[in-house]
Amino acid sequence: MAPRAGSSATSTSTTATIPPSFANAAEFFNTLLGEHCATLFGEYHTDTVLRALTEIDATTILDVGCGAGQFLIDACLRSPRLKGIGLDISAPAIKRAQEAAADLKVADRIQFLVGDAFDIDSWPAECTSADVLTAVGVLHEHFRDGRDAVISILNEYNKLFAKGLKAFILGEPELRYDLVKNDADLYLVHIFTAQGFPHDRESWLDVIGQSELSCSKAFCRPNAGPRFNFFQLIPSDSATIGRTLKDNRAPHQERV
């Protein structure tokens, strides 16, 4: 049973006290999980996303479900020409992101805004200035409502291309490692935090193929743990390659 807010949770090696400011234990542990994942992402995957962005000639990234903003902050620190807009439904997460951006002197290039990542009609007007959309590790949550729910969100994001979007980079983890057969930890994390389960690359390509988007390239970093796939998505009818990939389910893959 999860401990109540304000109580403590004790394991054989650690004791975590849940501050009263958190509504419940799940929010507290999800915050810790988010901080841990941000560290891993910066170590393994930020450079992979930036590699994809250089081919798009991106200037402003809209990162939906940005959490505490670590990806955008890391990206702007590594690429001085980039600007960013982070959107997350959690006001406390946005506040932490704003504070971190200020501390690291990138607040002049990144805006962090409260908003629903999956309701584009409710987005603040500032979001329309982005030429690239990123959604990293957030969309698989909707598999708990079935594949059609994920396809519906992909189709909503497709509408942004008519407003000047150049590309959509979807980043999603697999429940796998390249060097070891160890997926139990990620299964348990998603069970205990009531999340939707991540899918593997082939499953994602099948879902994307049923949407109004196509995958032109897939990027990943070898030997990262856990493995992440980054799908560069474009409208299905925007290029011959898009139609070909949608039929063949086999985008060009780069391991960087």
Least-confidence region, from 32-41, 133-142, 216-225: 32-41
Strand partners, 63: 86, 134
Percent of the chain whose pLDDT exceeds 90: 40
Residue 197: the pLDDT is 60
Nearest to 141 by CA among 199, 195, 185, 188: 195
* pTM, 2 dp: 0.75
Q: What is the DSSP track for 54-100?
A: HHHT-SEEEEET-TT-HHHHHHHHH-TT-EEEEEES-HHHHHHHHHH
- With a cut of 70, say whether residue 176 has pLDDT above it: no
The CA distance from 206 to 200, in Å, is 10
Band (pLDDT 50/70/90 cuts) for residue 18 is very low
